[in-house]
Amino acid sequence: MSNKQTLSFQAEVAQLLHLVTHSLYSNQEIFLRELISNASDACDKLRFEALNNNALYEDAPNLEVRVSFDQAAKTLTITDNGIGMTAQEAIEHLGTIAKSGTKDFMGKLSGDQKADAQLIGQFGVGFYSGFIVADKITVESRRAGVAPEEGVRWTSGGTGDFEVEAITRAARGTSIILHLREEAEEYLNAWKLKSVIAKYSDHISLPILMEKEEWKDGELINPSDENGGRQPGGMVKTGEWETINKASALWTRPKKDITEEQYQEFYKAISHDHEAPLTWAHNRVEGNTEYTQLLYIPAKAPFDLWNRDKKAGVKLYVKRVFIMDDAEALMPTYLRFVKGVIDSADLPLNVSRELLQESRDVRSIREGSTKRVLSMLEDLAKHDKHEATAGDDGVTDVVDADDKAKEGKYTAFYSEFGSVLKEGLGEDFGNRERLAKLLRFPSTSSDTVSVSFADYKARMKEGQEAIYYITADTLAAAKNSPQLEVFKKKGIEVLLMTDRVDEWALNYLHDFDGTPLQSVAKGAVDLGKLQDEAEKKAAEEAAEAFKPLLAKLKEALKDKAEDVRVTTRLVDSPACLVVQDDGMSTQLARMLKQAGQQAPESKPVLEVNAEHALVKKLEGSVHFHDLAHILFDQALLAEGGLPADPAAYVKRVNALLA
């Protein structure tokens, strides 16, 4: 590398830096939490790489983080002796945002400083948080295992560019030197720094060191002076370093010794979330596989929750040695929102991602962790509506606030993560029944997402033999679907499913507690005992009388409809579309096509209301062909679809209007 280069920040970084420096002054102290957390991660990475190359420790086997300040120079320095960076790594890590979901994050920024500050907090500002208090940051680093001459110095004022130059650095690791703004000079104070570190970083398992200070009296200058002739005294550094945190991993401490605030701050440190979690569980599991869990359920969904390329999972430690972030094998994909730590006593220290996929111990940890998370959710759901909890994984001692504090939390959780939880119906056969009890939907009796299958079943009408539901693109489309008309007339509740994942997920759930689930948009409507004999007889007579007209409709719509039949499900609408019992719904077919995937070619069934004036007008009409196609296209529009030939539809409607 040439001695000095000036490079530009990635556009997203420049925008993020502007927001950091202008929007986050209300919570300045988080910069120290973020930088110490990064320093700890660097040490963890060195420890892991050194498992296969002990020479990386060089002559400093004790990993640590040091915090120092210089009042004269107005600088605050955070130094670690972790893995360090090469020049290229400094350019990549400090000049660009590699975290997935960045574009989505940037797209959500509104220009409202207060609102954007909340978004930044959810995204995690990491290294860039230093610019909250500094108008210039210098980073000096050398990667473990390379020559001292291969060190690098990175410097930026947090605007549009940064400088990188080669330096000689004897010690491995990284020093971050913050040149503090005038309004941030309170951090040039040992007491202030210790209080912030105690609040946010006491859980860090490495020692965080600061130089000791002691009081020194002022020097005698002029004995005849009325003030004693002394210069004022003050605190001076002794040259000795002391550990100012507990330096033990939080999850290894007894629960009784950990405060609620410490649990919350640990969560914020590992998740880079500014909000406290909804709930958490901390327990030690013993048996064939021994491990400690500290698992959190966030309050808000991250921006990259739906990013397929995003790695997700909990942090894995083995015997308190950090192994990897995002250990996906320890948590099923549908629980990818869970944050936390799992520390195993049984896995080999040099465990690889490949071994994680195959290990029997890992499968045991995954099953236990999944059950623990479901138990946490069941506990929240129970306190939301005081329901009976479902299932038990045999592990006790959930650490949480009192029961009253849990009220409303499951509703908050479900609004953020309910769609992801539904994926478990197709992924986790063993826990399908527990997951089904956790699902919530709006219904024709409740606009809010609050109706469980158990709620629905408890108020089913006498003689009702199925749980009825409808899927649609929006709540409005579901509520106003013609397919619901007979159900509304008879006061039969129907669940309204509007998440994109619903249609797929319900392929894996055919009944709940012995009661079948029935889509109102599939097959001929059969209300069984809810339909009296007079209604059945009238429907049969209408179908018989309507046979000649049905034959003409089938012929006119043979390219669009698989069949045309009379229905009793319609009250106010002339027609609707349904599919056969074993067919793919038109909504799912549309979703697959929108995603660029193949959908099986199938035609819907057109059901018509023999009592509707428009249908009666068909017989003998000179515009029969046009009316038949308008009838079909309007039924398609009513369920959120679009005519295959919109221009032809408009032309037919205009001709009839004229």
**125 annotated as a binding-site residue:** yes
Q: For residues 470 and 502, give the distance between their C-alpha atoms in angstroms, rounded to a whole number.
A: 10
Q: For residues 605 and 565, give the distance between their C-alpha atoms in angstroms, rounded to a whole number.
A: 8
**80 annotated as a binding-site residue:** yes
**127 annotated as a binding-site residue:** yes
Q: Residue 648 carries which side chain, given as an amino acid letter?
A: A
CA dihedral over 160, 166, 172, 175, signed as positive or negative: negative
| Neighbour order of strands in the sheet with 575-578 | 563-566, 605-608, 575-578
Going by C-alpha positions, the residue among 334, 332, 303 that lies closest to residue 116 is 303
Q: Residue 359 carries which side chain, given as an amino acid letter?
A: S
**353 annotated as a binding-site residue:** yes
Q: For residues 415 and 493, give the distance between their C-alpha atoms in angstroms, rounded to a whole number.
A: 22
- In 3-state terms, what secondary structure has residue 496? strand
**100 annotated as a binding-site residue:** yes
Q: For residues 516 and 467, give the distance between their C-alpha atoms in angstroms, rounded to a whole number.
A: 6
**122 annotated as a binding-site residue:** yes
CA dihedral over 112, 113, 114, 115, signed as positive or negative: positive
Contact between 373 and 261 under an 8 Å Cβ cutoff? The reply is no
Distance of CA 182 to the CA centre of its chain: 38
Q: For residues 297 and 281, give the distance between their C-alpha atoms in angstroms, rounded to a whole number.
A: 9
Going by C-alpha positions, the residue among 613, 585, 408 that lies closest to residue 504 is 585
**399 annotated as a binding-site residue:** no
**314 annotated as a binding-site residue:** no
- In 3-state terms, what secondary structure has residue 589? helix
**392 annotated as a binding-site residue:** no
**186 annotated as a binding-site residue:** no
Max distance between CA atoms of the chain, in angstroms, equals 125
What is the CB neighbour count within 10 angstroms for residue 530? 17
What is the secondary structure of 192-243 as a DSSP string?
Answer: HHHHHHHHHSTT-SSPEEEEEEEEEPPPB--TTSTT-SB---EEEEEEEEEE
Contact between 398 and 405 under an 8 Å Cβ cutoff? The reply is no
Tell me the Cα Rg of the chain. Answer: 33
Q: For residues 618 and 371, give the distance between their C-alpha atoms in angstroms, rounded to a whole number.
A: 59
Contact between 338 and 297 under an 8 Å Cβ cutoff? The reply is yes
Q: For residues 639 and 615, give the distance between their C-alpha atoms in angstroms, rounded to a whole number.
A: 19
Alpha-carbon torsion angle 90, 92, 94, 96, nearest 10: 170
Q: For residues 351 and 39, give the distance between their C-alpha atoms in angstroms, rounded to a whole number.
A: 23
The residues near 390 (Cβ < 8 Å, ≥ 6 apart) are 378, 433, 434, 437, 438
The residues near 24 (Cβ < 8 Å, ≥ 6 apart) are 30, 117, 120, 121, 125, 129, 132
User: Whose structure tokens read 């509506």?
Assistant: 385
Strands 173-180 and 134-142: antiparallel
Question: Kind and range of the H or E element at 13?
Answer: helix 11-23
**124 annotated as a binding-site residue:** yes
Q: Residue 635 carries which side chain, given as an amino acid letter?
A: A
Q: For residues 326 and 324, give the distance between their C-alpha atoms in angstroms, rounded to a whole number.
A: 7
Residues at the binding site are 34, 38, 80, 85, 99-101, 122-127, 174, 353
Q: Binding-site residues for ATP, please?
A: 34, 38, 80, 85, 99-101, 122-127, 174, 353
